[in-house]
């Protein structure tokens, strides 16, 4: 018989291939796509088997509810169901499966807590289909800017069209904000670490103390396209050469700011994109993260100044569009201590660490206390088909989560 941890891993593996992927080879599950709908249907069955009633909210999130002794605000256990393109199988879904396993354990023991539990499968955390991340948790938290809903995917399909063609319930962008929660007891999320710290320390799990601050931009560099053979090097206004200098400046400045500060260019588009034409336009993204808002803002300002200097020196035009601004999100200190205490009770070795990756937890913090548990992943690899976890580590995480929930119930009664 499989342990709860083994079953959680097996279910993530099941969702890692057709019909739960939009790719023929590999995993890509985008928000509101056929693969997303197929995964929700399977997820609904698993939630019901664990003793939950299932609903879909106005943002297309799937929620399983396990009733408590009282009908007060629920403890929300959650993560996301969508993925990046060519993804690993555990980033997001593993946290959902562990939420289901925790409820299933309570059901088998016929335990009802003083509060309900709701397991959320958020629909859009990655922003891999529409150009706005964490749309669906923002809707639940009530922090959604309505302007964010006027967006299209790469195929030109609007969010509203995608919502209206969703088959499991009636959705529309006009009603999207109706997903807002009326209140929660708090929020718990389990997630693979997506980094190497736990593996380096030989620890199965880690208690997250907070989530790093993020800024994300899209830049456009405009120079002058021209024939590659007839344009003198000293007279060129090469947009790609200018962009390359900017990228190297961002890397250098982030390194100079020390541990915890990172700057990443993840997308680069060169136009016109011909081998015999000097590039006339380049578009690229920049993602800046740091443990605190002040450190993030300081490095971002230095990078912007460096970009402007490059643009002047190379006689190119530079424009900038802000895509995302997420403040640092500390986890609740009392719940962090309670989660660490749960691990100690079970003799599960763990450490405390900051998350460099963004999570729905930082959005849900607007509603109340948050806690996060990281799970070791092989090589620290994530957003990659090579993403792997050990079933024993996942089982440790499940046990720690259950103990945390029980301790929370004990404190609630006191």
The structure tokens listed for 163 are 């919502």
Asked whether 291 and 212 are in contact (CB, 8 A), the reply is yes
Bridge partners, 320 (sequence order): 219
Rounded distance between C-alpha atoms, residue 200 and residue 379, angstroms: 9
**Annotated binding-site positions for allantoate:** 216, 276, 289
Rounded distance between C-alpha atoms, residue 126 and residue 105, angstroms: 30
Rounded distance between C-alpha atoms, residue 339 and residue 56, angstroms: 29
The structure tokens listed for 55 are 């609903």
Name the DSSP letter for residue 22: S
Rounded distance between C-alpha atoms, residue 146 and residue 137, angstroms: 14
DSSP sequence for 33-100: SHHHHHHHHHHHHHHHHTT-EEEE-TTS-EEEEE--SS-SPPEEEEEE----TT--SSTTHHHHHHHH
**Annotated binding-site positions for Zn(2+):** 80, 91, 126, 191, 383
Q: What are the residues whose beta carbons fall under 8 Å from the beta carbon of 274, sequence distance 6 or more?
A: none
Element (H, E) at 271: strand 268-271
**Annotated binding-site positions:** 80, 91, 126, 191, 216, 276, 289, 383
Asked whether 265 and 286 are in contact (CB, 8 A), the reply is yes
């Amino acid at each position: 018989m499989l342990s709860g941890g083994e079953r959680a891993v097996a279910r993530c593996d099941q969702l890692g291939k057709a019909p739960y992927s939009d790719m023929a080879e590999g995993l890509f599950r985008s928000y509101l796509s056929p693969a997303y709908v197929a995964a929700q249907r399977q997820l609904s069955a698993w939630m019901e088997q664990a003793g939950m009633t299932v609903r879909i909210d106005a943002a297309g999130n799937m929620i399983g509810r396990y009733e408590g002794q009282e009908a007060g605000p629920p403890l929300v256990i959650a993560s996301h169901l969508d993925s990046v393109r060519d993804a690993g199988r555990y980033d997001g879904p593993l946290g959902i499966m562990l939420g289901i396993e925790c409820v299933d354990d309570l059901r088998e023991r016929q335990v009802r807590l003083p509060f309900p539990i709701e397991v959320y499968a958020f629909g859009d955390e990655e922003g891999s289909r529409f150009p706005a991340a964490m749309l669906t948790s923002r809707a639940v938290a009530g922090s959604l800017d309505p302007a964010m809903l006027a967006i299209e995917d790469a195929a030109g399909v609007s969010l509203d069209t995608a919502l209206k063609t969703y088959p499991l319930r009636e959705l529309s962008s006009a009603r999207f904000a109706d997903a807002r929660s009326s209140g929660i007891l708090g929020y718990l999320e389990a997630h693979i670490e997506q980094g190497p710290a736990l593996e380096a320390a030989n620890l199965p799990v880690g208690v997250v103390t907070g989530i790093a601050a993020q800024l994300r931009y899209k830049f456009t560099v405009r120079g002058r396209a021209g024939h590659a053979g007839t344009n003198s090097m000293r007279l060129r206004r090469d947009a790609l050469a200018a962009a390359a200098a900017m990228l190297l400046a961002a890397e250098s400045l982030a390194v100079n700011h020390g541990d915890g500060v990172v700057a990443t260019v993840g997308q680069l588009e060169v136009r016109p994109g011909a081998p015999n034409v000097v590039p006339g336009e380049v578009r690229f993204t920049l993602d800046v993260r740091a443990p605190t808002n002040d450190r993030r803002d300081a490095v971002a300002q230095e990078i912007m100044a460096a970009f402007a200097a490059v643009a002047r020196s190379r006689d190119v035009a530079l424009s900038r569009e802000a895509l995302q601004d997420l403040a640092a999100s500390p986890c609740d200190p009392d719940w962090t201590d309670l989660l660490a205490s749960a691990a100690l009770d079970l003799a599960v070795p763990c450490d405390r660490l900051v998350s460099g990756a963004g999570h729905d937890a930082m959005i849900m913090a607007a509603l109340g206390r948050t806690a996060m548990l990281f799970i070791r992943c092989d090589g620290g690899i994530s957003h990659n088909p090579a993403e792997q976890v050990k079933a024993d580590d996942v089982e440790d995480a499940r046990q720690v989560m259950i103990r945390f929930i029980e301790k929370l119930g004990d404190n609630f009664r006191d």
